Chains A and B, each alone.
Chain A
Amino acid sequence: MKKNKVIYSIEHKKYLKNIKTKKAWIFFTQIGLLIGFLLLWEALIFFKILDPLFFSSPLRILRTIKEMFVEQKLYEGYIIYVHIGITLFECVLGFLISTVIGSFIAIGLWWSDYLRKVLDPYLVILNSLPKVALGPVIILIMGLGLKAIITMAVLICIIITISSTLHGMTSCDPDKILLMKSMGATKFQVLSKLLLPYSIPNFISVLKINIGLSWIGAITGEYLTSRAGLGFIIDYGRQFFKSDLVMTSIVLLSIMAAIMYLGVSLIEQKVSKNR
């Protein structure tokens, strides 16, 4: 068997090489695109076609990163780690709360057909309502600060969590449920032995969506009311025309969001190994 694997026809070798070359090209183009974009940006600033007051520049962003992490400059009283930490905290907490509560509500709605039908129009409306519009209401009820921001993040995530989790559970082949019932399964057994394990892949895609959404929630929350956090720095930078600060914070945000996304992808790979 092993010998067979080693001896490929010339045609097959060509085919394999072709795949490799294509992959390499895609990678280099991706990197090239990024470098080209940064060079163009820097050049436009250098030749004074764009005004750095509004557009910042890659070098200025690098300088600001140095200022943040090496010189540890204070921004409105806090070093950058505090700002990052606060936004991360809001985001993670909003993510966890909405995922846990949302999943439980989804299970409840699966359990009771009646409840699901009663609540259906409300869910539809809540889903299409821009949650940011509720910002002032949230502040009135929760007060200014962390609580309001986290509530914002939860509100933005929870509806989509409920509807996608529920959809995942109801997409199970009805014959699988009949099979369990024919074996005498209780409703709880159908849930625990079939629907929950069945929904895990769907649940993970819900997690992926929620990561993005909870960042949106945390940043919008900070725009509305905050004294610290990356969203706060962006808003503060905007007010005082510090575009370097705005751009750098956005770069930091993208890096953090990417790391969290990768984390969930890793979990996904582990879970989907046996599927």
Chain B
Amino acid sequence: MKIILCLHNVSHKYHSKLGETSALQDINFCLNDGEFLSIVGPSGSGKTTILSLISGLLKASQGHILIDGNEVTTTNRDTGYMFQRDQLFEWRTIRQNITLGLEIQKKMTQENLKMIDGLIEKYGLKEFADHYPRALSGGMRQRVALIRTLATSPKLLLLDEPFSALDFQTRLNVCDDVYSIIKNEKKSAILVTHDISEAISMSDRIIMLSNRPATIAHEYVIDMADCATPLLRRECKKFGYWFDKIWKDLEKLS
């Protein structure tokens, strides 16, 4: 299988007046094309830092990050970042929100706009395309945020707790929704979450970080191919097994 992303001995330190904090220590992992990886760990263990490093928003103190063999030095067009809140711009219509990335990258070509129309239609946003975000529910807004991320055709999606701002009921549905869109578009994704069941229900593989300075404490390959979607997985027999295992490992860390 093709490898899309690799982190080699990545370490990161934060500097402040009070001193330096070592957030990450010798992180090594790779991601296969089309794979869905989750990162869990105690709070403050540098989960978000890893995403920032991969997206190029932060520069690693040490080590190398390669996407498709190219070293990440600055923000790049291979990754698409999705935040905790949808961060839709209220003064732009849904369509204008979705085209934001193309505008920034000056790629508003006929072809790309057609591709976006396709996404809008395919994922049921057509009737809202010319509405403003406030007309949409929280779940729909997060779907728009995902389509906005997909609009620039990134190879790799970075999801930073994208469901944590939603209420539980919506969350389960949006989780299913986002998962199916990502699989449908054949994207690779890294999800940062503190919700173990969310991680299990979506991932092919889960990495657990240790306390600061974070190293990779555990790695789990979630073998639940027979349960296709996040909602189905939650009812799967093995779900309980994995939850128990990961939860106990996490307890030991904290």
The prevalent SS among residues of A at the interface is: helix
Instruction: Encode A108-138 as 1/0 by CB contact (under 8 A) with B.
Output: 0000000000000000000000000000000
B104 touches A189 (CB 8 A): yes
Q: Determine whether A258 belongs to the interface, using a CB cutoff of 8 Å to chain B.
A: no
Query: Cβ of B57: which chain A residues have Cβ within 8 Å of it?
Result: 178, 181-182
Query: Beyond A179-B81, A182-B55, is A275–B90 a contact (Cβ under 8 Å)?
Result: yes
Query: Cβ of A183: which chain B residues have Cβ within 8 Å of it?
Result: 75, 100-101, 104-105, 152
**Size bracket of the A interface:** 10 to 19
For the complex formed, measure the closest distance between the CB of A190 and the CB atoms of chain B, giving whole angstroms. 9
| Complexed CA–CA distance, A90 and B55 (Å) | 52
For A177, give the chain B residue with the smallest CB separation: B87
Q: Determine whether A194 belongs to the interface, using a CB cutoff of 8 Å to chain B.
A: yes
Query: Cβ of B80: which chain A residues have Cβ within 8 Å of it?
Result: 182
Select A173's contact among B55, B87, B104, B152, beta carbons within 8 Å.
Answer: B87
For B92, give the chain A residue with the smallest CB separation: A197
- The tally of CB-CB contacts under 8 A between chains A and B is 54
Q: Determine whether B61 belongs to the interface, using a CB cutoff of 8 Å to chain A.
A: no
Q: Determine whether B89 belongs to the interface, using a CB cutoff of 8 Å to chain A.
A: yes
CB contacts under 8 Å to A, within B67-81, are 75-77, 79-81
Instruction: Encode A147-185 as 1/0 by CB contact (under 8 A) with B.
Output: 000000000000000000000000001011011111111
For A176, give the chain B residue with the smallest CB separation: B87
| Complexed CA–CA distance, A176 and B76 (Å) | 17
| Complexed CA–CA distance, A274 and B130 (Å) | 12
Query: Cβ of B187: which chain A residues have Cβ within 8 Å of it?
Result: none
Query: Cβ of B75: which chain A residues have Cβ within 8 Å of it?
Result: 181-184
Q: Determine whether A73 belongs to the interface, using a CB cutoff of 8 Å to chain B.
A: no
Q: Determine whether A193 belongs to the interface, using a CB cutoff of 8 Å to chain B.
A: yes
Query: Cβ of A275: which chain B residues have Cβ within 8 Å of it?
Result: 90-91, 132, 134
B91 touches A197 (CB 8 A): yes
Instruction: Encode A58-85 as 1/0 by CB contact (under 8 A) with B.
Output: 0000000000000000000000000000
CB contacts under 8 Å to A, within B57-116, are 57, 75-77, 79-81, 83-85, 87, 89-91, 100-101, 103-105
Which of B56, B79, B89 has most A Cβ within 10 Å? B89
| Complexed CA–CA distance, A173 and B87 (Å) | 8
Query: Cβ of A175: which chain B residues have Cβ within 8 Å of it?
Result: 83-85, 87
CB contacts under 8 Å to B, within A189-211, are 189, 193-194, 197-198, 200
Query: Cβ of B91: which chain A residues have Cβ within 8 Å of it?
Result: 197-198, 200, 274-275
For the complex formed, measure the closest distance between the CB of A194 and the CB atoms of chain B, giving whole angstroms. 7
| Complexed CA–CA distance, A185 and B57 (Å) | 11
For the complex formed, measure the closest distance between the CB of B72 and the CB atoms of chain A, giving whole angstroms. 12
A274 touches B104 (CB 8 A): no
Query: Cβ of B76: which chain A residues have Cβ within 8 Å of it?
Result: 184
A184 touches B77 (CB 8 A): yes
Other 13 A-B pairs with CB < 8 A, given A178-B83, A197-B91 = A173-B85, A179-B87, A180-B104, A182-B55, A182-B56, A182-B75, A184-B75, A184-B77, A184-B105, A189-B104, A198-B89, A200-B91, A275-B91
- Closest 7 A-B residue pairs measured CB to CB? A182-B81, A183-B101, A185-B104, A183-B104, A175-B83, A197-B91, A182-B55
- 25 A-B residue contacts at CB 8 Å? A173-B85, A173-B87, A175-B84, A175-B85, A176-B87, A178-B57, A178-B81, A178-B83, A179-B81, A179-B83, A180-B100, A180-B104, A182-B56, A183-B100, A183-B101, A183-B104, A183-B152, A184-B77, A184-B105, A189-B104, A194-B89, A197-B91, A200-B91, A274-B91, A275-B90
